[in-house]
Amino acid sequence: MNYINYNGKIFEANEIIVNAQNRGLRYGDGLFETIKFKNNNLILNEEHFARLWKGMQLLKFEIPKLFSPEKLELEIYALAAKNKLTTARIRLTIIRGEGGIYDAKNHTPNYIIEALALPKDNTVLNSNGLQLCFYEAAKKSIDTFSNCKTNNYLPYFMGALYAKESKCNDAIILNSEGNVCDSTIANIFYIKDNALYTPSLTQGCVAGVMRKFLIEKIRLLGFSVNECIVKKADLLAAEEIFLSNSIYNIRWVNALEDKIYSNKIVWKIVDELMRKETEVF
């Protein structure tokens, strides 16, 4: 039996917890965080909660004084124990509550915590490289909310459906200017001439916690990491590509459409990080 936490109360995972007037259900009015729980520890939790609090402020939630990262952490640990998990994928969802567009009942954050099992070796670099494709039918906007992990997820889940139909592991999402944004579930990096490149936050990508961590740590390894505009042609001319997110850290890409990539530098980076950043990797 798997359990969830809704506003501090424990429910069975299949129980209905919101009604038809919920703004999160109606409008996608909310945000979420996905946090790795490894060996009974939350990974990069301070960065995750900082991003979540910034997002709630942008979405004009009214945050009660007793609603704090410390409170949520305690409830996450309790839920993981309830589900008998020491390694898990934690999803923390924030939604506004009931009401229409102009008449929200209140702006207090409602929250849902889920804890789902993860394989213990999920941080090891994937042995089989990913196959990617470009998704063209929906473009990610560049605006005040682009860097947040909001529940308004249309380009991403339609991109994921397209990737599945195309027999790919993931799809690359483009922004409203036609430049590379991110993938459906990860930030994207490419390597050329021993330098790393990733779309800048001004390009509308999610401000990934693992993205930020990797930029800092990879620079300490002596590599140049450039946050910039990335074109489709840049990826197709790259020597290596990898994706990053908080659950799998780094996953290397074997192919993008018909282009094949190596993974020599990606393996070197992962090997160094696994030795030096053992809490995360």
pLDDT, tens digit, 9 for 90 and up, residues 8-43: 999 999 998 988 999 999 999 999 999 999 999 999
- Asked if residue 266 and residue 152 are part of one domain, the reply reads yes
Q: pLDDT for 37-96, tens place per residue?
A: 999 999 999 999 999 999 999 999 999 999 999 999 999 999 999 999 999 999 999 999
Domain stop point among 87, 117, 147 = 117
Residue 9: inside a domain: yes
Q: pLDDT for 178-198, tens place per residue?
A: 999 999 999 999 999 999 999
- Asked if residue 82 and residue 141 are part of one domain, the reply reads no
Residue 122: inside a domain: no
| pLDDT class of 142 with cuts at 50, 70, 90 | very high
Domain stop point among 55, 89, 117 = 117
- Asked if residue 138 and residue 109 are part of one domain, the reply reads no
Residue 123: inside a domain: no
Q: How far apart are CA 172 and CA 160, in angstroms?
A: 9
For residue 121, what pLDDT is reported?
61
**Token match 């620079």: residue?**
219
Q: How far apart are CA 26 and CA 95, in angstroms?
A: 11
Radius of gyration (C-alpha) of the chain in whole angstroms: 19
Domain stop point among 90, 117, 144 = 117
Residue 281: inside a domain: no
Write the CATH number for 55: 3.30.470.10
- Asked if residue 80 and residue 170 are part of one domain, the reply reads no
**What does pTM read for this prediction?**
0.95
For residue 145, what pLDDT is reported?
95
**Among the listed residues 35, 31, 77, 32, the one whose alpha carbon sits nearest the alpha carbon of residue 245:** 35
Q: What is the DSSP letter of 98?
A: B
Alpha helices (H) along 102-226: 154-165, 209-220
Mean pLDDT calculated for residue range 163-173: 97
Q: pLDDT for 239-278, tens place per residue?
A: 999 999 999 999 999 999 999 999 999 999 999 999 999 8
Residue 230: inside a domain: yes
- Asked if residue 180 and residue 85 are part of one domain, the reply reads no
Residues spanned by the domain of 257 = 130-276
User: Residue 98 pLDDT > 80, yes or no?
Assistant: yes
Structural domains of the chain, count: 2
Q: What is the DSSP letter of 202?
A: G
- Asked if residue 183 and residue 112 are part of one domain, the reply reads no
DSSP, collapsed to helix, strand or coil, labels residue 112 as: strand
Residue 243: inside a domain: yes
For residue 127, what pLDDT is reported?
87
**Among the listed residues 220, 226, 227, 223, the one whose alpha carbon sits nearest the alpha carbon of residue 277:** 220
